Structure 1
Amino acid sequence: MSAVWLHVGQCGNQIGEEGWQILTRENVPHAEADPYPFCSPDGKLSAICVDSEPKVVRKLQKQVKSGSFRENNLIVGKRGRGNNWAYGYHGLHSATEKNLLERTMESLRKEVERRDCYCGTVLFHSLSGGTGAGLGSRLCEAIRDKYSLGQILSVTVAPHQAGESPLQHYNSLLCLSWLQRHVDGVLRFQNDAMLRRTAALLGKKAPVSDMQPQVSLSAMNTYVASCLAGLLYPLKAFTTGSGISMGMEPWELLRSVCPMPTMKFLHIAQGCKRGTVFWDSLAASVVHSLPRESHAGQPLHYSTSVLAVARSYQEDTFLLSRDSVLRKLKQAYRCVPWNPFPLSCWTDSLNIVEPGCHSHSLTICANQGSSAELLQQVVARAEAMYKTNTYLHWYWRYGCEEADFQQAFETLCSVADDYSRLGE
């Protein structure tokens, strides 16, 4: 592959751990010339795991011993970042810790040099944590500055709206602003939506109407990893005749669903089925999870572009149903009338989500106006706190300035307005 995979913070590393278990399964029939498309020539994963605390990354030591991970690519600090974006972005001032960014960039440089062709970085992180949001933002900026021709795809997890940290709205505001400025695309996952979708897949219901269903964090991480595998695992269409993957999937994805640089926040959904498949019904199960209206009571959001990735050992059955499936997706996602070609479709005969059985998966990636809701909620809650100076002293203490907040508010409001006007 042409990508380097960078996992930052607790959330980014936990998703990465689940993802690599799916992508490097022994029963996956990889091409002879390219046994693992995510590895360097020496057989080790082109992945870097970084966290300011050792507890999550240390769990990957077993995979170092098995030869999967490169030990120098497991980068840990000794102190957390206190769920504070400014603390994560600017780092500690002590001589022992201030090089966390430098160590990560040095490992990234070595991985880039191991690539025959480096095209970009895929970054995994959350919006709410000090390391994932703060250090993640700083890394996006540093990578963009160092490798200006490479692309950056962010896999971002937004916190529960009910609250995970008192600083999560500030962290989300600043991190989203940095992502808008420095990355090429953002695959956004929201904990509330993931919880509902995972519960539905597991057949669980909330015990009381106003309570969330009980779903483990591991199950949610597995769902995210499954979506990413369905979306980004190499396809035969992007593989050379010699069997070597060109690693085009992340960057072809960006070309397909991010036609405008001002709108780069992407919604992901996935449906899987075993046995006989009816693609129309599988597509219906995927779009069923879409909200019927916005929180403000407005009609469904518009989408600038939609990508469908169908994986099945019966690849030809999807091709027979292709037109009807794409019609259903175009209607459900309300593709904008001014884009003459809003739909793209990829197919492959290997379902990486559940290899080795008669299984089928349909993964949808859409550049959808629902991103405006996330941005507006983040801005509204952060602004309410900002006006009363709530917790701001923790940001001033670690080097943040008023200009950082003002620019973040302006950036997100502008992007939200662009998404809100999609149907005009």
Structure 2
Amino acid sequence: MSSIFVSVGQCGNQLAKTLIDQLLLNQINQNSYLYDNYDGKFHFVNLDSESKVIKNLYASHKQNLRIENLINTKCGRGSNWASGYTGLKKDGSLKIIEKSLESIRKESERCDFLLSFIVMHSLSGGTGSGCGSKLIEQLRDEFGWKKLIMTQSVAPFRAGELPLQHYNNLLCMSHLQEYADFISLHQNDDVLDILNKISLESSRPSNTSVTSKTGLLPFNSTKLIKKSNLNDDTYASVTLNDMNSYIVKSILSAINPVDNISLKSQSFGLELLELQKFLCPNFNLKIVEIYNVNSLNVTKTIYEKNNPLVKRLFSRVPKYKANSNEYYTSLNSLFVARGMQDFNEYKSEYVLGQLLNESDLMQKTLNPVKWNPFSMDFWTSKNSLSDSEKVKMNSLTLVTNRNKCCEYLRDVLEKSMLKYSVKAYVHWYEKFNIDKEFFENSFEKIRFTIDSYDQMTQ
């Protein structure tokens, strides 16, 4: 079974580049034709309103991409969801969506059996959010509900990156709630905090310091990144590549073939279907988070009583609600343990035993709902990912559906409603026929999602 990766906008295509780099480092991932075709070309369709990122992507990986699957126009979307969704008069999004759909149709015919679409995009940009929303809507109309639509959605910093970001987030998330089957939410604030913790754990020397009264750190020499809330005066420089790499490794660690769902070491690509069935059985509750930790393969690890990655993983997972000592509540959680492929005596029971020894810590941290007796599951895989130096790593990944997403949704809802109440920036949407009814429907969908999580996690 195969999946088609659809990258939309600058953020989505930067993730696509990092994803291809990782896939080329890990040829074992291609055993099931989950990612590539018989001719070595990946099942990728890449679109952006501007050509720069698309051209750079093709220049780096022209041997793995079909040039007809790289689609762009000549005009950006001005970081406006409405201009990406309904299109500009001269060079609208409808044209780029039509071309993208045609490429997706042709790519689907090359698949042995198409299982899902994985859409990578940002929630705040005009192309990623607007064109992404329109494309997901069209994919649902074109392929119906027989194919999974799974998104890897990147949320901006809450402090604000763009003046229209709260409207964009609101409109895009309401669309995802209506048309997608599975929403993997990657919040920039959380990713940054995790990478800062990793930097401190590895004791890397700091090469930058806070230089602004606003608490911002230099980012890629030209951009700024928000200082995390860690109680430490030393911070390493976190680049955009670092953030993309962490997100992509987390995605691959979650969806790559595992031994539990394979037959004679041959995966049929059912991992995505099982992920969706276990984590998102309720259509209204489908926003998940992914956390990942890695360590070098060490011979002692498999024989230790406890899995050392468990404590490292939970040290990075946000546990408490904002400004509170109350734990978040999880609906379903999946652990994916990878590694130990160098051991002839490898057995998944060893790894599962290590994980189950930490069940008390898992229960306390994840705080599962009491009404679900099977709120956790465990997958194992003998094979793991390689790092940039092709060194095999043990890894432990947590994919969890819990009410932490409600904090993000409430923040988006409150700030967008506040702006809307005074008609701030509304004219930028009205000029593209996004009227009052459209906004009110989006407000209602987000409220309903929050209420659904509150009711199921009480």
The alpha-carbon distance between structure 1 residues 35 and 164, as it changes in their structure 2 partners (threshold 3 A), is same
Partner of 1:167: 164
Q: TM-score if structure 2 supplies the norm length?
A: 0.86
After superposition, what is the alpha-carbon deviation per residue over 1:260-287, rounded to whole angstroms, capped at 9, x for unaligned? 1110000111111113436533111111
Tell whether 2:313 aligns with 1:286.
Answer: yes
Partner of 2:15: 15
- Alpha-carbon contact 1:90-1:398 (below 8 Å) kept: yes
CA apart distance, 1:230: 0.6
Partner of 2:435: 401
| Alignment partners' CA distance in 1, 2:150 and 2:326 | 30
Partner of 1:257: 279
- Alpha-carbon contact 2:129-2:168 (below 8 Å) kept: yes
| Alignment partners' CA distance in 2, 1:348 and 1:368 | 25
| Alignment partners' CA distance in 2, 1:87 and 1:177 | 17
Secondary structure (helix, strand or coil) at the match of 1:267 reads strand
Partner of 2:293: 271
| Alignment partners' CA distance in 2, 1:365 and 1:305 | 9
What is the RMSD computed on CA atoms of the aligned residues?
2.1
Residues 105-184 of structure 1 correspond to what in structure 2 (within 5 A)?
105-148=101-144, 149-184=146-181
- Alpha-carbon contact 1:302-1:422 (below 8 Å) kept: no
Secondary structure (helix, strand or coil) at the match of 1:24 reads helix
| Alignment partners' CA distance in 2, 1:339 and 1:191 | 30
Which deviates the most, 229-238 or 111-120?
A: 229-238
Letter in 2 for 1:389: K
- Alpha-carbon contact 1:51-1:76 (below 8 Å) kept: yes
> 257, 268, 288: which one pairs with 1:246?
268
- Alpha-carbon contact 1:291-1:300 (below 8 Å) kept: no
> 298, 303, 309: which one pairs with 2:330?
303
- Alpha-carbon contact 1:330-1:343 (below 8 Å) kept: no
Which deviates the most, 173-182 or 143-152?
A: 143-152
Partner of 1:410: 444
| Alignment partners' CA distance in 1, 2:88 and 2:67 | 24
Taking only the aligned residue pairs, the percentage that are identical comes to: 32
Which deviates the most, 244-253 or 163-172?
A: 244-253
Tell whether 2:375 aligns with 1:379.
Answer: no
| Alignment partners' CA distance in 2, 1:263 and 1:29 | 33
CA apart distance, 1:37: 3.6
Which deviates the most, 35-44 or 132-141?
A: 35-44
Partner of 2:384: 351
Which deviates the most, 150-159 or 92-101?
A: 92-101
Partner of 2:43: 46
CA apart distance, 1:296: 4.5
| Alignment partners' CA distance in 1, 2:428 and 2:372 | 45
- Alpha-carbon contact 2:73-2:91 (below 8 Å) kept: no
Partner of 2:99: 103
CA apart distance, 1:62: 2.4
The alpha-carbon distance between structure 1 residues 375 and 238, as it changes in their structure 2 partners (threshold 3 A), is same
Secondary structure (helix, strand or coil) at the match of 2:158 reads coil
Partner of 1:340: 373
> 232, 245, 248: which one pairs with 1:225?
248
Which deviates the most, 344-353 or 78-87?
A: 344-353
Q: TM-score if structure 1 supplies the norm length?
A: 0.93
| Alignment partners' CA distance in 1, 2:179 and 2:364 | 32
CA apart distance, 1:291: 2.9
| Alignment partners' CA distance in 1, 2:355 and 2:91 | 58
The alpha-carbon distance between structure 1 residues 7 and 95, as it changes in their structure 2 partners (threshold 3 A), is closer
Which deviates the most, 81-90 or 231-240?
A: 231-240
Structure 2 regions of 5+ residues with no counterpart?
217-226, 228-234
| Alignment partners' CA distance in 2, 1:135 and 1:159 | 17
- Alpha-carbon contact 1:13-1:56 (below 8 Å) kept: yes
CA apart distance, 1:229: 1.1
After superposition, what is the alpha-carbon deviation per residue over 1:79-109, rounded to whole angstroms, capped at 9, x for unaligned? 1100000000011222686410000000010
| Alignment partners' CA distance in 2, 1:129 and 1:235 | 34
- Alpha-carbon contact 2:75-2:91 (below 8 Å) kept: no
After superposition, what is the alpha-carbon deviation per residue over 1:150-177, rounded to whole angstroms, capped at 9, x for unaligned? 1100100000011110000000000000
> 317, 335, 360: which one pairs with 2:394?
360
- Alpha-carbon contact 2:45-2:70 (below 8 Å) kept: yes
After superposition, what is the alpha-carbon deviation per residue over 1:182-208, rounded to whole angstroms, capped at 9, x for unaligned? 001111000111111112223367845
| Alignment partners' CA distance in 2, 1:409 and 1:247 | 36
| Alignment partners' CA distance in 2, 1:307 and 1:30 | 20
| Alignment partners' CA distance in 2, 1:396 and 1:39 | 42
| Alignment partners' CA distance in 2, 1:118 and 1:327 | 39
Which deviates the most, 40-49 or 217-226?
A: 40-49
- Alpha-carbon contact 1:122-1:154 (below 8 Å) kept: yes
